[in-house]
Amino acid sequence: VGLPLPSTEVAILDNNDEPLPIGESGEIAVRGPQVMVGYWQQPAATANIMFGEGWMRTGDVGRMNERGFIFIEDRLKDLIIVSGFNVYPAEIEDVVVSHSGVVEAAAIGVPDEDSGEAVKLFVVGNDPELTEQEVIKFCRKRLTSYKIPRQVEFRDELPKTYVGKILKRSLRDANNAQPVI
């Protein structure tokens, strides 16, 4: 997304609100004169995102490079936690859409007895011969084992907002899966 605006500080934080080293991914926090001071008459909601001396947690997962450029990688609420490991859906989706038979994909976390959550993948394809096994095999060659989808569901289309963003909340709701965070 580029460099922060003038008078704006950006930090990439771990789960304890501690700054992470350059290049590591964590939650993006911001502070500056244009950052809100909280939600109107909602102290509990404000306490969830505001901390320290005017810092606001954005809910975005990102990283910063050595030149100060910010890269947004995912949304924290979309994070899938498999056996304690953070799985960013965007990484899985990027891999899957590189398959010639896939038009678009969305990954969500679903409850799993063994690992807490498992990756479920929704795929819109352009190849009627494409199978769940082929998609999983494709992922095995390109992803770490805990990131490989356990389930693949093919759809004619994915639910979207008016501007074309995939509604993962709708996919989670249809699968009775709630984000961990």
pLDDT over 70, % of the chain: 97
pLDDT at 173: 86
Average pLDDT score, the chain: 92
User: With bands split at pLDDT 50, 70 and 90, how would you rate the model's confidence at 178?
Assistant: low
> Can you tell me the mean pLDDT for 66-88?
91
SS3 147: helix
pLDDT at 15: 85
- For 43-73, write each residue's pLDDT tens digit: 999 999 999 999 999 999 999 999 999 999 8
CB atoms within 10 A of CB 180: 13
* Cβ atoms of 10 and 70 closer than 8 Å: yes
Which has the closest alpha carbon to 30: 13, 42, 47? 13
User: With bands split at pLDDT 50, 70 and 90, how would you rate the model's confidence at 181?
Assistant: very low
Amino acid code (one letter) for 103: V
